[in-house]
Structure 1
Amino acid sequence: MTTMKNPNSSSSKLALLSHIKYEHLVAGISGGVTSTLILHPLDLIKIRFAVNDGRTATVPRYDGLSSAFVTIVKKEGFKGLYRGVTPNVWGSGSAWGFYFLFYNAIKTWIQGGECAYTARSRPAHAGSGRGGEEHIADNKRYKGMVDGLSKIYRTEGIRGLYRGFVPGMFGVSHGALQFMTYEEMKNRYNQYRNLPIDFKLTSVEYLTFAAISKLIAAVGTYPYQVVRARLQDQRGAYTGAWQCVRDTWRYERLAGFYKGLTPYLLHVTPNICLVMLIWEKFTNND
């Protein structure tokens, strides 16, 4: 049995701070940056599939995953696969770093010391693919993260920087479901072997549990990503999240909410495996 701390005591609050270990921050940043640099092309393709509602002529269309790769490289070169990689690296690295920093501190505190927008998605698909760039105004073509942020702010204001924020909030459930599943599988596996729940596993075991937990969370929460991507796409005509949900269901039914799922799974599964393995191994001596 683990010891539960009383969150109302001042000593417990100080104890929480004492559990903050910055190696978790470094491990999270390292994992996030590494996985993003390797797998960014799949994230880009996922976004392009997601924003294709079949009714907007200027949105790039691909026949499949291989078609998307070939078409992007042919029209934009190899660098086309890495559009939007800078904000993606910043976002992924910082998010994973701070996530693991506070996740480990809170988990250790609870266990009593026994053992975490728009500028990222828009540059990734703006002005590229079949029938894409030639139909986009100059103020919606982004040369990079800073250029994208400044143009969005000038043309749409602060509100434009937060398009897709509401469905994006549902992303919290994705991380909660994923890490709950991951921790439960590790704990139950060690209990089955009559070992302490924080007993270190092999690389294969970490990779297996990370992949399974990510697949469960991804399939269960993917629709919100489609809605968010469509709201953030400057070529879309949705006034809000509810209209996007309604029109997607009306014209595409359930399949519309899962467009881009294949490249997404191909991207996030090895992504989370790399991140979790780097984190677990980096903090192996905790």
Structure 2
Amino acid sequence: MIFYIYKALGTTSVMTSYKHFVAGVAGGTTATCILHPLDLIKIRFSVSDGLTTRPSYSSMWDLTRKVWRTNGVRGLYTGVTPNIIGAGLSWGLYFFFYNTIKSYLNSNRSSEPLTISQYIGCGVASGSIVLAITNPVWVAKTRLCLQYETQNKVYRGMSHTIIDLYKKDGVKGLYKGFVPGLFGTSHGAIQFLVYEKLKIWNAKRKGKSVEDKMATFDVLAMSAVSKLVAASATYPYQVVRSRLQDQNRVYIGVTDVVKTTFRNESWRGFYKGLSANLVRVTPACCITFYTYEMLMYYLPDI
């Protein structure tokens, strides 16, 4: 699939595409290895709807303490395998597709900025392609993260989860949460739009090219701001998506999730886990983008 899309867009060199993909994979896996426990906390909070069949937590610290007490570090890293695979593959493919499409639109002139609509288009198109490829991995991650310590384990690992879902529900089971995930492509579009604009502004401010190596503080600051803006603006879709993928509660579809959540928890229900999410995604984004930018500068040409 990557080859055919690359061939169709066909204006980026093999060398550049390779660097975007490798740097993206490295950034995504590094951030996930370090910060997965915060992702576990965010998911459990986002689906916390008052059901007696699942544990209740009064705070992030309470959740962490209870998981640690039961299973130690291993408990905090429940679901880490699909998260590492999903994050690494998603970031690698996203950077690959995003920059390939962007190069096509600006005729390979990397210093030439796009219009706002073009940046958003690059983000939405890239996000949609990546989601179509990786959604089964994200369903598996959510299911594994929601295997509570007080319940019998249904899934033994990522492969077992995906196979079991396919046996029970076919392809449809592997694409639970896909529709709200498509809405979530706006997250990446907003994030990259803000990051690209800040990157261009920073380069002009310092009289440099956007391809020059950036200072560590600049990368961290710009990636943090772009992630905070995007995460705050699009968080409700993550709650809807997590609840659709949750094995402890069955919803008819997106509309059912939205109506039930609003009826039982008001608008606040759509922002459950937001604090945990911001605590997780902001440093994760900083690590990912810093690793990506440094590898793009230092990776050898092939």
**TM-score above 0.5, yes or no:** yes
Do structure 1's residue 201 and structure 2's residue 197 form an aligned pair?
no
Partners of 2:9 and 2:91 in 1: how far apart?
23
Choose from 61, 65, 71 the match for 2:60. Answer: 65
Verify the 8 A CA contact 2:140 2:162 in the aligned structure 1.
Answer: yes
Choose from 157, 161, 164 the match for 1:144. Answer: 157
1:54-93 mapped onto 2 (5 Å cutoff): 54=50, 56-93=51-88
In structure 2, the residue matched to 1:32 is 28
5+ residue gaps, structure 1, are 1-10
Between 253-262 and 116-125, the greater mean CA deviation after superposition: 116-125
In structure 1, the residue matched to 2:146 is 125
Partners of 1:26 and 1:194 in 2: how far apart?
29
Do structure 1's residue 189 and structure 2's residue 202 form an aligned pair?
yes
In structure 2, the residue matched to 1:48 is 44
Q: Structure 2 counterpart of 1:189, which letter?
A: N
Do structure 1's residue 279 and structure 2's residue 288 form an aligned pair?
no
Compared CA separation, residues 112 and 200, structure 1 to 2 (3 A) = farther
SS at match of 2:284: helix
Q: Structure 1 counterpart of 2:139, which letter?
A: T
| TM-score of the two chains, using structure 2 as the length reference | 0.82
Choose from 176, 182, 190 the match for 1:177. Answer: 190
Verify the 8 A CA contact 1:51 1:229 in the aligned structure 2.
Answer: yes
In structure 1, the residue matched to 2:117 is none
| TM-score of the two chains, using structure 1 as the length reference | 0.86
In structure 2, the residue matched to 1:238 is 251
In structure 1, the residue matched to 2:94 is 99
The structure with more radius of gyration: 1
Compared CA separation, residues 82 and 18, structure 1 to 2 (3 A) = closer
Q: Percent same amino acid among aligned pairs?
A: 42
Do structure 1's residue 249 and structure 2's residue 244 form an aligned pair?
no
Partners of 1:68 and 1:236 in 2: how far apart?
20
* 1:107-166 residue CA offsets vs partner (Å, 9 max, x unmatched): 3343333334311211111233xxx405xxx6xx11111121222223333322222111
Which structure is higher in helix share?
A: 2
| Superposed CA RMSD | 2.1
Between 59-68 and 201-210, the greater mean CA deviation after superposition: 59-68
* 1:29-81 residue CA offsets vs partner (Å, 9 max, x unmatched): 11111111110000011100011112x11122111111111100112222011
In structure 2, the residue matched to 1:221 is 234
Verify the 8 A CA contact 1:84 1:120 in the aligned structure 2.
Answer: yes
Q: Structure 1 counterpart of 2:182, which letter?
A: M
In structure 2, the residue matched to 1:110 is 105
The count of corresponding residues between Structure 1 and Structure 2 is 267
